[in-house]
A and B are shown apart, each in its own frame.
Chain A
Amino acid sequence: MEGQGGSLIEVSIKAEPLLHIGPFEFTNSMVGALLASAVLLAAAWYFSRRAALVPGRMQSLIELPVEWMADIVSASTSRWRGYVSLVVALFLMILVANWIGLLPGVGTVGVHSMEGGHEVFIPFVRPASADLNFTLGLALVAFAVFVYWGVRVNGVTGYLKELVGEPRYMAPLMFPIHLISELSRLISLSMRLFGNVFAGEVLLATMLAITTAAIFTIPLAFFVPGVFLGLEAIFGFVQALVFALLAMTYITMAIAEHEAHDDEHGAHDERPFSEAPHEVASIEPEGIG
């Protein structure tokens, strides 16, 4: 971009490599993803070790998103136990990864290095979802799972029959269309998350760059990026929710075909998550609200 007087901010669409390990690059978005995983693992370890039957204030706060998400998933199909952990995990991972991107220092603390004749700035941490590799990886996992459920519920022939469509003679036309629509879910899942988070990062950087230029003349300019930071916090949550819900819906759609047939056997648990029996639920004392 050759504008007059240089550009206000530096935007890199791909993650910058920090180290080279053999043929692999260790990029700064990997640092973001590892940080998010570390936060989640530490929270899981810490709170599962001291989990109380009657949750305290902190435990309730941690359990709230898990229980809320699990309640939504358990309303989808009678086989929700098979995929509830995946959907909740996708939600939590993306939520934490998005919110780590809003912390101070992420994307601003880094080193300057020479690359291709001009100086570039390489931040140490880049929010994981602002890298297409991360979102595409998550979308591939979701894709594999909903194809797996489609095959498991309908069988391989049933799944292929679904791709072929109803009037069999239309197969040469409909099969490629159905195939493309299956693959387009992969693209739209990954692109939606990447586009939103990346655009959010660019928006924040632009707002910050504009207001730091004005900060000495207009004292309250400081609050302008703050408003957008709050907006991005909401978007980070919504995008995590959307990704998890879409993954859930695709799995539900793969299962739904045979739902009526399965209900005759009555073999599946249809109670929502909060009412379904848990190992500790039976000894829960009454009258504690």
Chain B
Amino acid sequence: MDSNLAAGLAMGLGAIGPGIGLGIAVSKAMEALGRNPEASGAIFVPYVLGIALAEAIGIYALVVSLLLIFVV
């Protein structure tokens, strides 16, 4: 029971940071796209890599909570 609570907390708290980071990344990308629509090709790859790296933190939280549920 404790580990289920810990898993929920780990995922919930761990999703705050990546959520903020993803929001910033997407908003800045959209801003850049609005200013300079021709640059969409140049923006796309760094944008996808950036959100992937920000999302990785959330995935670490997910892995920790999966470990708490299934392993501990």
Binding site for B on A (CB under 8 A): 1-2, 13, 72, 75, 188, 191-192, 195-196, 198-199, 238, 241-242, 245-246, 249
Which chain A positions have C-beta within 8 A of B48?
A: 238, 241-242, 245
Residue in A192, A199, A241, A249 with the greatest tally of chain B CB atoms within 10 Å: A192
DSSP majority for the A interface? helix
Total A-B pairs, Cβ < 8 A: 38
The answer to whether B69 and A192 have CB atoms under 8 Å apart is no
Which chain B positions have C-beta within 8 A of A13?
A: 66, 70
Residue B56 at the chain A interface, CB threshold 8 Å: yes
What would 30 A/B residue contacts be, using CB atoms closer than 8 Å? A2-B1, A13-B66, A13-B70, A188-B56, A188-B59, A191-B56, A191-B59, A191-B60, A191-B63, A192-B52, A192-B55, A192-B56, A192-B59, A195-B59, A195-B62, A195-B63, A196-B55, A198-B66, A238-B48, A241-B48, A242-B48, A242-B49, A242-B52, A245-B45, A245-B48, A245-B49, A245-B52, A246-B49, A246-B52, A249-B49
CA distance A242 to B53 in the complex (A): 9
CA distance A188 to B71 in the complex (A): 20
A12 to B, closest residue via Cβ:
B70
B1-12 interface mask toward A, CB cutoff 8 Å, 1 = contact, 0 = none? 100100000000
Which chain A positions have C-beta within 8 A of B62?
A: 195, 199
Closest Cβ of chain A to B41, distance in Å, is: 8
Which chain A positions have C-beta within 8 A of B60?
A: 191
Which chain B positions have C-beta within 8 A of A198?
A: 66
CA distance A188 to B60 in the complex (A): 8
Closest Cβ of chain B to A232, distance in Å, is: 15
Binding site for A on B (CB under 8 A): 1, 4, 44-45, 48-49, 52, 55-56, 59-60, 62-63, 66, 69-70
B44 to A, closest residue via Cβ:
A72
Which chain B positions have C-beta within 8 A of A241?
A: 48
B57 to A, closest residue via Cβ:
A188
Which chain B positions have C-beta within 8 A of A245?
A: 45, 48-49, 52
CA distance A43 to B7 in the complex (A): 42
The answer to whether A1 and B4 have CB atoms under 8 Å apart is yes
Which chain A positions have C-beta within 8 A of B66?
A: 13, 195, 198
Which chain B positions have C-beta within 8 A of A191?
A: 56, 59-60, 63
Which chain B positions have C-beta within 8 A of A242?
A: 48-49, 52
Which chain B positions have C-beta within 8 A of A196?
A: 55, 59
Which chain A positions have C-beta within 8 A of B44?
A: 72
CA distance A199 to B56 in the complex (A): 13
CA distance A192 to B52 in the complex (A): 8
CA distance A238 to B45 in the complex (A): 12
The answer to whether B69 and A1 have CB atoms under 8 Å apart is yes
Closest Cβ of chain A to B7, distance in Å, is: 10
A195 to B, closest residue via Cβ:
B59
Which chain A positions have C-beta within 8 A of B4?
A: 1
Which chain A positions have C-beta within 8 A of B69?
A: 1
CA distance A72 to B52 in the complex (A): 17
CA distance A13 to B56 in the complex (A): 19
B42 to A, closest residue via Cβ:
A75
Closest Cβ of chain B to A264, distance in Å, is: 25
CA distance A242 to B4 in the complex (A): 30
CA distance A188 to B66 in the complex (A): 15
Closest Cβ of chain B to A94, distance in Å, is: 13
